[in-house]
């Protein structure tokens, strides 16, 4: 088993085809794969029927790391979850 911080999801190294060199996987690929996985779970189990804003919250979680500060993060949150 590979023990690199880049192997966020087990098996991601194999799926990405990097074999024994997990350093070739950008961290954003793992992040994106996790968001796709969570969205699939939300769709499959109908979680969005119980919480209408769940997909907007996933979008917010995906975009927050790219904000330039607390003010921009709060503005993004207001825009997405309004």
Region 54-82 average pLDDT:
90
pLDDT at residue 4, rounded to an integer: 47
pLDDT at 25: 54
> Domain locations in the chain?
27-81
CA distance 76 to 82: 10
In this prediction, residue 14 has a pLDDT band, given cuts at 50, 70 and 90, of low
Whole-structure pTM value: 0.61
d(CA 41, CA 66): 25
C-alpha dist (Å) from residue 15 to 9, 30, 68, 75: 10, 11, 32, 36
Query: Per-residue pLDDT averaged across 13-36, rounded?
Result: 63
Three-state secondary structure call for residue 13: helix
Sole residue written with tokens 């109908």: 46
Average pLDDT (8-28) is 54
What is the predicted pLDDT for the residue at 21? 53
């Amino acid at each position: 088993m590979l023990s690199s911080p880049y192997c966020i999801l087990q098996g991601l190294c194999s799926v990405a085809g990097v074999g024994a060199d997990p350093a070739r996987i950008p961290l954003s690929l793992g992040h994106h794969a996790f968001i796709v996985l969570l969205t699939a779970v939300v769709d499959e189990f109908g979680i969005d029927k119980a919480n209408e804003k769940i997909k907007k919250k996933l979008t917010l979680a995906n975009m927050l790391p790219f904000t330039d500060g607390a003010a921009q993060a709060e503005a993004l949150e207001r825009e997405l979850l309004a």
